[in-house]
Structure 1
Amino acid sequence: MIQKIKESFQFAFDAAKVYSDTFERFRMFYKEYESLNRDEILQKNHALKLQRSVHKDATAIQQKRHLGLLLVDKTQLKERLVYSQPRQIQVMNEIVPMQARKKLDALLAEICDAQYKLVSRASTIAELANSVTFLDEIQKRVTGLKAEQETISQMYSLTKMYSIPLSCNDMVGFASVHVDIDSLLSSIIEAEFKRDSTMEKLGSSLQKEINELNHDLQTIKLKSQDLLDINADSSKVRLLLGEVKISIDELQARAHAYTSYQKQFKMEVTKFDALDEEIAEFRLKQLLWDCLEKWDSLSDEWTESTLDVLDLEQFSSQVTTYSKYVNQLEKGLPLNNVVPILKEKVEVTKERLHVITALLNPNMKPEHWKTLESVMGIPLNKEELSMVALEELNIFSYGMEIQEVVTHA
């Protein structure tokens, strides 16, 4: 008898253990969502559905059930499951409407901005170009806007399905988005209808600006003529060079902008040959005045140097460089009285270079210097001879005699 009683109790508790396993789903649900933060809950898109499923199952729990000798009373369990939701699910009920509203506001703002751009009256070249460009962009964007509208619609459907409360503003905003999308599509159709007239206006505006650019170019050409007068004040020339450079840079930027628009909208691209020629000529004028100033500075250095410290290789290289500059300036600039002055200075130094090169010939011995002294009738000390001394002693006039002595050295 006692054994049968023990077996009956054991059977009842085993049955209770098996029955308790049917509540494992509830335990796992609460355990999982109690450990999640806001961001983790938002990533679980099935949270609302799962919550409602658990709530439905909890409602269906029988309050009392006989398990052999045991009577299981689940009244308190059912009440806690039905009326006590996890904190994170309550947060979900707050966040879903907030996220839906955030997406809705972003969509409405983009639609509003797009409509403003489509209906705004464009007048400048930039505005006309931007309006055509935006029309192309918004037509490609419409599919994305509709997809976002569908996403928002699904979020609001969830709130309705799971009885999540919404504010009046949310409901009004959601209801208006369909109207706003339709209004945007109407604006796009209207703007597309006006595309040809907008493009025509853009083309005429570009041509008008190009004509003004050419007029401004003529003004600069007249102004820069003063840069080819040797009698001009050098300080004023420098100021004028700076002013003309600013003007030319501005014209170049404008020309680049106009051709960019023409390429973008597949128009005939204007060639600014006159501007390119003026830019090239202006650069030569800059080079001319830079050469004049630098040459005078180099001449002072050479004049002060004695033959024994003069760097002949560097001296020769600099003279060659400036000879090339002179040739470039003669070919690229119109006739003027500035280039001949620079050319004369360079040519004189080139002639003197031949004499200096001969005097610095490493094969020149003391006896050769004695020969030169007898020819010129003056004593020569290499360590004391400078460009100034050579000129004062009129040594450069003995170029042929010096070359003859060096030939036999």
Structure 2
Amino acid sequence: MRKAFICPTKYVQGENELLNLGYFVSTFGKTALLIAHKDDVARVKEQLQQTAEQYGISFVESGFSGECSRKEVARLQQVAKDNNCDCTIGLGGGKAIDTSKCVAEGEALIIVPTIAATDAPTSHSAVLYTEEGSFDDYAYFKQSPSVVLIDTTIISKAPTRFLVSGMGDALSTYFEARATSAAYANVNAGLPCGFREKKCGEAKSTKTALALAKLCYHTLLEDGVSAKHACDKNQVTKALENIIEANILLSGLGFESGGLAAAHAIHDGLTLFEGTHKYYHGEKVAFGTIVQLVLENAPKTELDEVLNFCLSVGLPVCLNDIGIDSYTEDELKLAAEKACIPEESIHSMPFPVTTEAVVAAIVTADSIGKDFKKKMERNHEKTNQ
């Protein structure tokens, strides 16, 4: 059996760590292409100037358009070439990070997230969009980023909703990795570089990936609530440090080397509902995780544990919570069909999944989530009387 595990060359996390960015640039050379939205650059301008002076390096600002498109990637590769850049930096959120991966193509890449909203920073994959913002393709590169640099001080000052969304994305990691392992399904870690249509690698998950995914889940349960309170007050605590690590590193390694399953596929299907578009990826994945647990008939104690965690940190537990206030049978069927297309990760579940089964699981999960939410509200009212 062929197994695979992939990870960044170096992961560094700490307070005010952005001040050391210049050092990591200097390990490649003197000049770095900086791919970041202008607002993110403005937030950390002082730290960038300080680290550049301290380590004798320079940043080439790219005028990033904000969209990870093939045209923008080609433009930025030319900017890097014209300025003899020794490495590429992706600083900010998902689009800047994915664009930097495409520009670097697996070489000399430093990722600096300014929010902990997803587990994408550590991965060797990216999502390409058209210039108008529609989905184009997935891209995979020969290796993960050379350096992932996490400044917890900066992340603590970002809106708490980003951190909570990251917990929603991380919540699915263990359950999807567990399903993938049970099914002996393939994981992304074994893929060669190239675009999705060129994929030919097949590999199964390792025990290492499943262990990291499980640790991710336990960390969320132990530190999620405390980390949320810390972020509300823009404070870096041990709990916040642990959750940032869970959201980015543990979840990142867990999803890429452990595998995706129903939760992310159901997320993809539910995006057909326009009401979901104002909600973040991780928020929708959290509900997708609940649907997956219903789909596999998970023990009630496990489902209740997940529901309780979601409510404790403010993650969705029903369709209303992700902007779906009403739906028709046909609309729900279309969403389920999208979740079940041949290339979706739902087929990594350890049993055959049908459109009808997904519809039933969504409706049931919605009902269970609503009832659980009402029950917790009643208990809260009794406690306060």
Structure with larger RCO (C-alpha < 8 A, sep 6+): 2
Q: Same fold (TM over 0.5)?
A: no
Report the TM-score, using the length of structure 1 for normalisation: 0.19
Question: Which has the larger helix fraction?
Answer: 1
